[in-house]
Structure 1
């Protein structure tokens, strides 16, 4: 029997974050409708921890990473390693992170 996973979704417009349970064997949407504002809430995966709603600098960093294909997926640059690269703490570090790990960026989510 497949195991359901809680996936984190976040709206970059109103900074609302929420989780939904999915069976990965059935697929998982790239976005849902934000229950707060009705805009798009994007799938940031199982490992995303949303910043506080009023932490605008952290949300700016999250938006920057998202726009460059990073949705808090695990990045393991060493083959067969279980160690993953930590995500950056600041926007300045995120810019360096995007450049360093651009080969691991995901394709943009198309409007569904």
Structure 2
């Protein structure tokens, strides 16, 4: 599973047995802040790409932990996550029913 620290912009992977459960967060090995479990499909931006990390934080704060979302109206195709902050704002509004509460 991919974990990401939104404070120091570090991403790292940890292996877990799903049958034994997987934590939603753990401590960042670099700074000690919370690092959140964004699942196995999360692709972290470069540490220096501040705009993309702001987008990641925005999505996270609105309940999107990079879980897969399926479009019911379009034969359950996977909905891609947005590439820009503007797209993220539209995404959050359009798919708010899928947000993790």
- TM-score, with structure 2 as normaliser: 0.95
Please state if 1:68 is matched with 2:62.
yes
**1:77 offset after TM fit, Å?**
2.5
Cα deviation per residue 1:74-109 (whole Å; 9 max; x = unaligned)?
1002179452000000001000000000000012xx
State whether structure 2 residue 23 is matched by structure 1 residue 29.
yes
Question: Residues 48-89 of structure 1, C-alpha deviation per residue, up to 9 Å, x if partnerless?
Answer: 000000000000000000000001111002179452000000
Moved over 6 A (4+): none
How far apart are the structure 2 equivalents of 1:46 and 1:37? 22
SS in 1 for 2:70: coil
Q: Give the structure with the larger helix fraction.
A: 2
Matches within 5 A, 1:12-51: 12-51=6-45
* TM-score relative to the length of structure 1: 0.86
Gaps spanning 5+ residues in structure 2: where?
none
Superposition CA RMSD, Å: 1.4
Structure 1 unaligned regions, length at least 5? 1-6, 108-112
